[in-house]
Structure 1
Amino acid sequence: MHRFLLLSLFIFTSFISCHHKTTSQENKAVQIDETFTNPVWDGADPWLTKQGDNYIYCFSANNGISVSRSKLMTKKGEVKEIWQAPQSGWNSNCIWAPEIHFIEGHWYVYYAAGKSGPPFIHQRTGVLRSKTDDVFSDYEDMGMLNTGDEPNDISKNIWAIDMTVFKHQGKLYAVWSGWLKQMDTDATPQHLFIQEMENPYSLKGKRVLLSSPEESWETGGPLNINEGPEVLQHAGQIFIIYSCRESWLKQYRQVMLQLKHPNDDPLNPENWTKKGPVFEGNEKVFGVGHVSFVKSPDDSEDWIIYHSKKDTVPGWDRDVRMQQFLWNEDGTPNFGKATAASVEIKRPSGEVEMEKNGNF
C-alpha cells in the first residue's frame, strides 16, 4: 500500500514537473532581430521577385541555375538546383545572371551562356520553362533566343546577355544587353536592345537599339557598357534601370530610362528619356550594379536589391545588398545613397511580425 502511494506521488510529481518545464519553454521570449546590415549574402546579379507571400531568388551556381523560396526578404529559404548546363553545346559554360518570371502559369528563366570563355565572345540568351506553376518543378530547355538582326537565321545570332521581360498594354517585351554586330573580342561596347515577344520563349519582329553608352557618366573607362536592364513600373510609369561603366570597377553605377508617356510605344527609342546616374557607389560602397525590385512582405514598401564590389581592386568579388527606396513628387524613383555595411537597417515592413508568428 505504501509502495502504491509512493509510486502515485512520484508519477504526480513528475507530471507537474514536466508540465511546468514545457510551459516555461513555451513562454520563453524568442529574440528576433528587428534590423539587419548589408550585405545579406554573397553573390552577384541578384534577381529577387515576389509571388504571393513568397520571395523567389534566382542565381547561377556550379555551372547551373538554382532558386530559393522564402517568406522572408532578408533570408534565403529552401534552395533547389533547377537546371544544370549540358556537357557540350552553345550553353555548356559561362552561366550568367539568370532571371525568373512567372508568366501565364509557368516560370520562365532567362539566362546568358556560352560554349567557352574567356574570351567571352559566345554569350547568347536561353530560356527555361517550368512544367508546372511550382517554382521547384522540373524545367524544360526552350532553346536559344535569336537576338540578331536576321530573325530567320539563327546562325547569324549576335552576342546577348542580361535579358529581362515586361508587359505593357497587353504585349510582352524583352530588353537585353548586346553588341551591334558579332565580334571576335569581348572588349566590345555593349548596348541595350528591345524587342516584342511572340510568346515568353520567342521574339517577334526585329530588335531595336534602345540605348548606347554615350553620356559622360556612361563613358570614361576602358570599355563603354550598357547592361543589366531591369524594368520598374509604378503609377502607370515605366522605367528601365540599367548598369553602366565597367562591372569590374568601383565606378559601376545605375542609370535610368523613362518612357515619356504611359501610352507611348516602347519600341520607339525617341519615346524614352535618359537620366543618370540615379544610384551609385560612395566612399564605403563600391560599384553598385545589376538591380532588382520587390515589395516588402506587407506590400507597403519598395526595395532595391543590388550587388556591390567587396573592395576597390578590379575584379568580380561581389556581395548582395538591399535597401528601401522612395518616390519623388514627379513619380520617379529616389534610390538614395548606398548604405554602408556598418549601418543598421530596419527590416522590411511586415517581416518581423511574420517571423514572430512563425509564418515562414
Structure 2
Amino acid sequence: MRLRFLLASSLVPSWVTVVLWLLVCLCLATAANAEEHETTFVNPVYAAQDPYLMVGPDGAYYQAASLKSDRAIAVYRSESLTDRGIHRVVFTAPDKGPYRDQLWAPEIHYLDGKWWIYTCADDGDNANHRVIVLEAETDDPLGSYKIAAELKTPAWAIDATVSKFPNGKRYCVWSGWPEGTRPDSTQHLFISEMESPTKLTGPIVDISSKMYPWETVGRPDGLNEGAQLIHRNGKTILLYAASGSWTPDYCFGLMTLEGENPLDASAWVKQATPWFSRSKDVYGPGHGCLISSPDGSEDWLVFHSSIDPQGSWNRCINLKKVEWNDDGMPVAGQPTSWGVPVPVPAGEPALKPGPNLSEAFDTLDRWELLHFYNGQTLKLADKQLRINASADRRFGDKVLLRGFEYRNLDVHTRVRFDSEEGTAGIVFRVANAGIGRDNFQGYAAQITSSGQLVLAKCDGQKMSVLASTQVPFAPQRWYDLRVVAEGETLKVYLDGAESPQLTANDASYGSGQVGLRALEGKVTFAHFSIEH
C-alpha cells in the first residue's frame, strides 16, 4: 500500500516512478524464477546400472541399456534427467555364436552423422567377452541396430567409450585384462586411436597400470572400468570406476592427460584419492557420466549405486550436481541420501496441467516407470498393466503419468490380485517420487490382501492412514477403484458405489502426478481413466 501511494503521488518525479516499477517487476520475476527452480526430486530416480547419457542432435537425452537378462538392448529418449523417458528395444542378441550373451554397459553415440552403440558380448563364457559395435539401420536412434564389427582388442574387453580429442583424432578407451595376467584377476584401462567408428588403428596402450589401494577392493590386483572422457577448461579428464562393482566400495577415480599425446601412458596421471565414493547410506557409487542440465547451465553426475549395504549388483540410478573448482576440475562432494528432496536440474521441463484421459493403458510411453527390477516386473499388454511387486519386499513398484500434474480429479481403475497377498491402488497428488517403497510424497488409495481399503498420505518416509474400512478380499477378483479429490476433500469409492466408502479432509498435498502402486504381490490393472 505504501509503494502504491508513493507511485501515485505527484511529489514523486516521473523518472523515479519508472525506476520503482522496474525494480518491482525485477523482484517479481526473480521471485517467480526462484519459486520455479524450487521444484525438487529425490534419488534414486529409476532402476538401472552403468548409465551413459548423451545429448542428441535434437537436444534430447539418449541412453542405451541392457534388458532381458542382458540379451537385448533398449534405447531411451527423454527431455529430462530425472525421467528416463520412452524406450524401444533396438537389438536382440543372436541365439548362437560369439555375441549371443551378456551384453553389458552399452553406450550410444552419434558419430559421423550416424547412430552407434558400443557394448560387449560373449558366447556365454565371460572369458570370451569382446567389444562389439552396433550400427543403426535407420536414422531413428530408437530404431533397429545390427552388428557392424568387433573391435580388435588383444584380449578380454568391456565398457568401451569413444571421444574426439583436441588434436582432432578419435580414440577409444575400454576396460580389459592385460595380456599375461590370470583371467579375471585385474582390469586395466586401455586406449587406442580409431580409424573409423568400427576400427582401431595403431598401438594399444595401458593407461592404468598404477593401482592405489582404494582401487583394489574385491580385486587385490586392481580394477578400473566404465570410463568417460571429458574435454573442458583446456584439460582432458578421464572419469572411471574403480574396485569391484559388487562391493560397497565401488567408486569413481579421476585421471588427467598431462601433455598432448593420449598414447603416452606416462602422460595419464591418476588422482591419488577417490573422486567420488560411498557415504553412510549410499553404497557403491560408480560407473556413470557427467552430463549438462537441460538448459546447459549446470553439470550433473549420473551414476548407479547398490541397494544393499554390503554391495551387490542390485542397482539404481542417482543424480548429483557437480561444480568446477578454480583449477578447472570437477567437484561432486558426497552422494545425496535417498529420499532427500533437492532442486531439479536447471531447465527440467515443468509438469503441465493434465488432460482428461479415457484410457491411459494404450501405450507404455505415457508412464514414468519407478519399479526396481527394470524390465522384468512390469508388462503392458492388451490394455492391462501387470506388475510383479513380490520380487523384493523392500521396493514397491510405482508408475506415474508422465509430464502431467492434477489438482482436482476423478480417477478410475480396475485391479485384480494374481497372488494371495499384496497391496495395490491409486496414488495421486504425487511429488518427489523415486525408487523405494514409501519414497514419494502424496496420497494413496489402496486395497490390501488383509481385507482393508485404505486412504493414506505419505511424507516420503512413511505412510499415515487417513481413513480405512474392511472389505472382502479374494484373489483373481476384479475390484473397481475410484478416487475423487476436490480441494481438501478426498473420497474413495469401491465397486461402483454411489457413496464413498472413505472420506477424509487433508491439505498436505494440493497437486501432483497421478499413477498406480503395488507392493508385495502380483497384480493386474485394467483400464485407467482420469477427469478433472
Q: Per the shorter chain, which TM-score range?
A: 0.7 to 0.9
Q: Which residue of the partner structure matches residue 314 of structure 2? A: 317
Q: 1:32 to 1:230 in 2, by over 3 A?
A: closer
224, 231, 234: which is aligned to 1:233?
231
Assess if the C-alpha contact under 8 Å between 1:32 and 1:352 holds in 2: no
**Equivalent residue, structure 2, for 1:269:** 265
Other-structure match for 2:117: 109
Alignment-mate amino acid for residue 43 of structure 1: A
Deviation beyond 3 Å, 4+ runs, structure 1: 182-185, 220-223, 355-360
Matched, 1:133 2:139: yes
How far the C-alpha of 1:328 sits from its partner, in A, is 0.7
> Can you list the C-alpha shifts for 1:75-134, whole angstroms capped at 9, x where unaligned?
1222101100000111101110000111111111110111114xx211110001113432
Query: Which one of 120, 144, 159 corresponds to residue 150 of structure 2?
Result: 144
Contact 2:186 2:219 in 1 (8 A): no
Computing the radius of gyration from Cα coordinates, the structure with the larger value is: 2
The answer to which of 307-316 and 291-300 deviates more is: 307-316
* Alpha-carbon distance in 1 for matches of 2:197, 2:250: 30
Q: Indicate the residue corresponding to 1:28 in structure 2.
A: none
**Alignment partner, residue 39 of structure 2:** 34
TM-aligned CA deviation for residue 244 of structure 1 = 0.9
Structure 2 runs not aligned, ≥5 long? 1-35, 355-401, 404-532
- The one-letter code sitting in structure 2 at the alignment partner of 1:34 is T
Seen in structure 2, the aligned counterparts of structure 1 residues 216 and 198 have a Cα distance that, compared at 3 Å, is same
Matched-pair contact (CA < 8 Å) for 2:120–2:132: yes
Task: State the partner residue of 1:25.
Answer: none
**TM-score, length basis structure 1:** 0.83
C-alpha RMSD over aligned residues: 2.1
| 1:351 and 2:353 are equivalent in the alignment | no
Task: Give me the TM-score of the superposition, normalised by structure 2.
Answer: 0.57
* TM-aligned CA distance change 1:190 to 1:170, over 3 Å: same
Which of 1 and 2 has higher RCO (CA within 8 Å, sep 6+)?
Answer: 1
Deviates more, 1:294-303 or 1:137-146: 137-146
1:94 aligned onto 2:99: no
Partner-residue secondary structure (3-state), 1:315: coil
Secondary structure of the structure 1 residue equivalent to 2:266: helix
Letter in 1 for 2:85: G
1:301-345 deviation line (CA, Å, top 9, x unaligned): 001100001012342111111121000100011011111103111
Identity of aligned residues (%): 37
Three-state SS of the structure 1 residue aligned to 2:238 is strand
C-alpha contact 2:51 2:304 (8 A) present in aligned 1: yes
Aligned length: 315
In the alignment, residue 228 of structure 1 is paired with which amino acid? G
Matches within 5 A, 1:161-200: 161-168=158-165, 169-181=167-179, 185-186=183-184, 188-200=185-197
Return closer, same or farther for 1:201/1:357 CA change in 2, 3 Å cut-off. Answer: farther
Q: 1:220 to 1:213 in 2, by over 3 A?
A: farther
Match of residue 240 from structure 2: 242
Contact 2:284 2:311 (C-alpha < 8 Å) held by counterparts: no
User: Offset at 1:32?
Assistant: 11
Question: Matched residues in 2 for 1:50 and 1:143: separation?
Answer: 24
Task: Indicate conservation of the 8 Å contact 1:213/1:244, yes or no.
Answer: no
**d(CA) in 1 for partners of 2:117 and 2:89?**
13
Shift of 1:271: 1.6
- Pairing partner for 1:65 from 68, 73, 82: 73
Question: 1:207: Cα distance to partner?
Answer: 0.9
Deviation at 1:248, TM superposition (A): 0.4
